[in-house]
Amino acid sequence: MKNIPSLFGSMVFHDDVMKEKLPKDIYKALKKTMIQGTHLELDVANVVASAMKDWAVEKGAAHFTHWFQPMTGITAEKHDSFISPCGSGKIIMEFSGKELVRGEPDASSFPSGGLRATFEARGYTVWDTTSYAFIKDDTLCIPTAFCSYSGEALDKKTPLLRSMEAIDKQALRILRLFGNTNTRRVVPEAGPEQEYFLIDKEMYLKRPDLIYTGRTLFGARPPKGQELDDHYFGSLKPRVSAFMKELDKELWKLGIYAKTEHNEVAPAQHELAPIYETVNSATDHNQLAMEIMKSIAGKHGLACLIHEKPFAGVNGSGKHNNWSISTDTGSNLFEPGNTPHENAQFLLFLVAVIKAVDDYQDLIRVSAVSAGNDHRIGANEAPPAIVSIFLGEELTEILESLEAKEDYQKKETKQMEIGVTVLPHFPKDTTDRNRTSPFAFTGNKFEFRMLGSAFSIADSNIVLNTAVAEILRQLADRLEQAEDFTSELAHMIRKYFREHKRIVFNGNNYSKEWEAEARKRGLSNLQTTVEALPVFIAPGSIELFTKHHVFTESELYSRYEILMEGYCKTIHIEALTMVDTVKGEIIPACIDYQNDLAKLLERKKNCGKYDTIMEEQLLSGLSRLSSGLIKKLDILENVLLESKGEQEISAQASFYRDKVFTAMSELRLIVDELETIVARKYWPFPSYAKLLYSVV
């Protein structure tokens, strides 16, 4: 691939393009709006729109769309062309400032959680000037927020932007106390590592469960899974390598910092990791990346699976959210400094995060719940449902020394000995990485590992930003009133660590011992979506989000309703798919195999000289399992009928978790055992072995 620097961002209306295409005064006015959030005057918007349209047409675009992120978890867009009639059957290409700044898509079919009646269709998309416009599929895409006619947020971007303002406001108060007058903005940043599976498209199209639900509802385990750890970081197969190269190219065109790709632990599983950037851009870019992955996979005869648990028995897919806070002057506030003053500031922000994660551990857990992620959390592939922080040995010892008012004796940096003379020595890190921790400090950022692969990272970052903003507010209120700032600063660092160190755990989060220890420490363990979601509308959550103007109370209740309803609908669709598949495909396959076996058995008996033990045993086993299959199918159909009687959303969700999902699991056990007995030519679907190992 030649000339990557010129390729990068070539489909983005970024700062350099603005400088080139816009008059100086218009550029300055737009930048002021982008940086300071000031109102964009219509005359400025008209000039920007015209320049943006000219640039897009030069790139081959004929349409524009307000690109937004509704509460469906995916992106949405309505395309309009640039054409405008000019008489005599002719057209001109036009794009006005009004069209750039605001759109009006029909909001009636998007989930609102009761924020408005179904017949109230009006909704508005409003240009987010902090996100650059870009061209995708020959369409100019303008990133926008999405709100109702009365102003409530109907999307994920609006509360994310609000949470960024909240942490900016409170962090600046802290920096001013440390004498920092140069910083004008504090910005949370993120870099989401995206895991996914690639399977052959033909195999995918033969699996109705994958098409309808994103995961396999049936499937006997293959003889070989991930036991040998031979897929992790292994050499890329040609089709996968070609896919990744084209993916890089398309992501780079859109200004997405795709940096690292590799094979993950499970067969057919892979990962894409970007360089981290502002949370708003990272959220936009991750949504785009997931969409483009699926599109490019199809071009290579592949299907990209982003479900959290597409296959039983092998690792599912997560999304590791690397989160930090930086200033507009380029300083990472989670980076230890070179002076006592800098390190005091670092430690203050560190203990603020420790207190925030402890105080709002349940909310942080809620930000990573879904029906899909329930399959993954708690297994030895993802963190447990218990929220804790990994700090590492050295940082923990520093904080323990401060708590005890003792001097910390810094350990000497050791040289790593490799044992091979031709390889150079290099300094050993002061702490290892903990891959079992849900929230691990990794040098200058925190890695939140609970998110599922299909998630928008907006949800978790809204919670992190707001929770930390609240603790910084408490600190600023206290320190601004202190008679002796230095003394009060040391006191608050010690106090916060002493009161919240229960959330710090540097050991194996997968162990049963930690589960028992966490219970002793009073940490919560919300294992399922149904248990966790009520936290979202608890009094403390409402107080937190409304205080910082991130959500209104009605917006919180709407999201609770949407998430609970989404959980129920997901399980319902999966159950209906199971019923349809068993009736239409699996039962007929079993009948065909039994018929042929019975005919063979009859012929051998009539002949009188052949042993029939094998046929008799197979038929006996098939008969037993077929009988069990019908019973379990009846149970599932009956509980689906019962589910209609539950009116209240939380009771309905509990019913789906306890009754419907249990019936589904029992039905699956029978089907998976049948798959090991029924001859392959009769079985209607590609096996796990074919799905996981067919890409070469």
pLDDT of amino acid 428? 47
Residue matched to tokens 């919240």: 500
| Burial class of residue 494, CB neighbours in 10 A (0-12, 13-18, 19+) | middle
Of 120, 58, 129, 69, nearest in space to 100 by CA: 129
H helix and E strand count, the chain: 24, 19
Write out the two tokens for 95: 């794009």
Residues of the chain with CATH 1.20.120.1560: 567-693
Q: Give the separation between CA 298 and CA 191, rounded to whole angstroms.
A: 26
d(CA 246, CA 17): 24
The arithmetic mean of pLDDT across residues 397-403, rounded, is: 87
What value does the mean pLDDT take over residues 663-688? 96
What is the CATH T-level fold of the domain 4-155, as seen in this structure? Answer: Ubiquitin-like (UB roll) (3.10.20)
Residue 549 backbone class (left: φ over 0; alpha: ψ -120 to 50; beta: rest): left
**Is it the case that residue 414 has pLDDT exceeding 60?**
no
Residue among 449, 329, 480, 345 at smallest CA distance from 387: 449
Q: Is the pLDDT of residue 27 over 70?
A: yes
Determine how many CB atoms are found less than 10 A away from the CB of residue 56: 25
Quick one: pLDDT at residue 72?
A: 83
Instruction: Say which amino acid occupies 253.
Output: K
Distance between CA atoms of residues 94 and 237, nearest Å: 47
Contact 52, 95 (CB under 8 A): yes
Residue bearing tokens 């903003």:
469
Give how far the C-alpha of residue 45 lies from the chain's centroid of Cα atoms, to the nearest Å.
34
Q: Copy the structure tokens of residue 154.
A: 């109907």
**What is the structure's pLDDT at 411?**
63
Kindly give the residue spans of alpha helices, DSSP state H, lying in 522-660.
529-532, 539-547, 553-581, 587-607, 613-643, 649-655
Give yes or no for a contact between 165 and 464, defined as CB atoms under 8 angstroms apart: no
Whether 172 and 328 have beta carbons less than 8 Å apart is answered as no
Q: Which fold has domain 163-412+428-551?
A: Creatine Kinase; Chain A, domain 2 (3.30.590)
> Residue range 179-185: average pLDDT?
94
Domain with CATH 3.30.590.10 in the chain: 163-412+428-551
Residue 45 is encoded by which pair of tokens?
């918007």
Chain-centre distance for alpha carbon 47: 37
Longest dimension (CA), the chain: 104
Residue of 112 and 423 predicted with greater confidence? 112
Instruction: Decide if pLDDT at 149 tops 80.
Output: no
Instruction: Name the DSSP class of 522.
Output: T
Architecture of domain 567-693: Up-down Bundle (1.20)
* pLDDT at 427 > cutoff 70: no
138 pLDDT higher than 70: yes
Nearest to 239 by CA among 186, 212, 200, 285: 200
Residue 132: both structure tokens together? 């650059």
Arithmetic mean of pLDDT, 107-126: 66
Cα gap 664→632, rounded to integer Å: 8
Name the pLDDT band for 361 (thresholds 50, 70, 90): very high
Asked if 285 and 132 touch (Cβ cutoff 8 Å), the reply is no
pLDDT at 150: 74
Residues in the chain: 696
Q: Strand, helix or coil at 89?
A: coil
Task: Specify the domain boundaries for CATH 3.10.20.70 within the chain.
Answer: 4-155
Tell whether the model's pLDDT for residue 412 goes beyond 90: no
598 neighbors 606 (Cβ within 8 angstroms): no
Q: What is the residue-averaged pLDDT of the chain?
A: 90
% of the chain at pLDDT higher than 70: 92
- pLDDT (0 to 100) of residue 457: 96
Residue 617 burial (C-beta neighbours within 10 Å; 0-12, 13-18, 19+)? exposed
Give the tens place of pLDDT for each residue, 32-41: 888 877 788 8
Handedness of CA 331, 333, 182, 178 (dihedral sign): negative
Its pTM stands at 0.93
Collapsed DSSP state (helix, strand, coil) of residue 458: helix
What's the mean pLDDT in 230-252?
Answer: 93
Quote the radius of gyration of the chain (alpha carbons, Å): 28
Report the distance separating Cα 168 and Cα 163, nearest Å.
8
Indicate the SS3 state at residue 454: coil
Structure tokens at 148: 């109702």
Interatomic CA distance for residues 627 and 612, integer angstroms: 22
Cβ-based burial of 320 (10 A; exposed 0-12, middle 13-18, buried ≥19)? buried
- What's the one-letter identity of residue 678? V
- Does residue 172 register a pLDDT over 80? yes
pLDDT digits (tens, 9 = 90+) for 488-545: 999 999 999 999 999 999 999 999 999 999 999 999 999 999 999 999 999 999 999 9
Question: Regarding beta strands 139-148 and 123-127, do their DSSP bridges make them parallel or antiparallel, or are they unpaired?
Answer: antiparallel
Report strand pairing: 277-278 vs 426-427.
Answer: unpaired
Q: Where are the alpha helices (DSSP H) in 42-156?
A: 42-58, 97-101
Least confidently predicted of 119-128, 226-235, 254-263, 480-489: 119-128
Handedness of CA 613, 615, 616, 618 (dihedral sign): positive
In this structure, how many other beta carbons lie within 10 angstroms of the beta carbon of residue 225? 18
Sign of the CA dihedral 643, 646, 648, 653? negative
Amino acid in position 396: T
CA distances to 23, 118, 321, 679 from 471, in Å: 43, 39, 21, 62
What are the two backbone dihedrals, phi and then psi, of residue 641, each rounded to the nearest 5 degrees? -65, -40
Is 380 a residue whose pLDDT tops 90? no
- Judged by DSSP in three states, 365 sits in helix
Tell me which of 407-421, 453-467, 482-496 is least confident.
Answer: 407-421
